[in-house]
Amino acid sequence: MASEVTYAEVKFKNASPTAVIEAPPETKKHEHHPQKYPPWLPWLISLLLLLTCIALVVVLLVAPFSHSSKQPTALQEKFTAWECNSAVSENKGQGWVCCPKGWKRFQNSCYFLSLDKMPWAESEQNCTGMGSHLVVINSREEQVFLSEQIKQGTGRPNFYIGLRAVIKDQWQWVDKTPYNVTAAFWRTGEPSEGDEKCVAIHKDSEIPNNWNNVRCQQHWRICEAAAVTV
């Protein structure tokens, strides 16, 4: 006897309906409009350019004394007006050598020839107060330069230098540089005997030998300081 096959239709209540995939909405194309700048923008740009120019000018004016990492010298602290000349240094390349306005420059030093007279001790104090000292002459070239500067003036015959004898015939420089008689520039017959313990350059004597020992009374003076290099 053949077996019967029974077919039954089965329905699942939790079956999910066929998924419907929705396409994303069509993206709208962006419309390009010309960009509008605020009306104050050109003024802002002009102001920034002006401030930049001012900053550059300030940097150029103060550069000689602001680029160095060293502390300012006493001379720099005393003077605000300077005269600078271009110079070439082996280490720094192109640079500047500066002296206070009205001072004379020779090599790496600045010199001030006074217009008034003082005794030797007060002359040294006056130079010190300006961040300098009475001149110390270290070479024939320096001696010739100073002598020529003095001859250009009028009515000022004797200028103190930084040499004197605290003890008779024991000449000393103010900066403790050893006195070398072979590098001295005395006039013929000088130094003379007597109470003349200070030294001055005599204007009307022949160059370079024009040192004259004098009494430490009223005379003009030459102050010296190292030039400021930047």
Rounded to whole angstroms, how far apart are CA atoms 119 and 97? 32
Is 200 among the domain residues? yes
What's the CATH number where 182 sits? 3.10.100.10
Is 142 among the domain residues? yes
Is 132 among the domain residues? yes
State the residue range of the domain holding 126.
112-222
What is the value of pTM for the model shown? 0.69
Is 57 among the domain residues? no
pLDDT digits (tens), the chain, 230 positions: 444 444 444 444 444 444 444 555 555 555 555 566 677 778 888 888 888 878 775 555 555 454 444 567 889 889 999 999 887 665 555 689 999 999 999 999 999 999 999 999 999 999 999 999 999 999 999 999 999 999 987 678 899 999 999 888 899 999 999 999 989 999 999 999 888 999 999 999 999 999 999 999 999 999 999 999 88
Is 147 among the domain residues? yes
Is 138 among the domain residues? yes
> Which one-letter amino acid corresponds to residue 127?
C
Q: How many domains does the chain have?
A: 1
Residue 136: other Cβ atoms inside 10 A: 16
Is 91 among the domain residues? no
Is 130 among the domain residues? yes
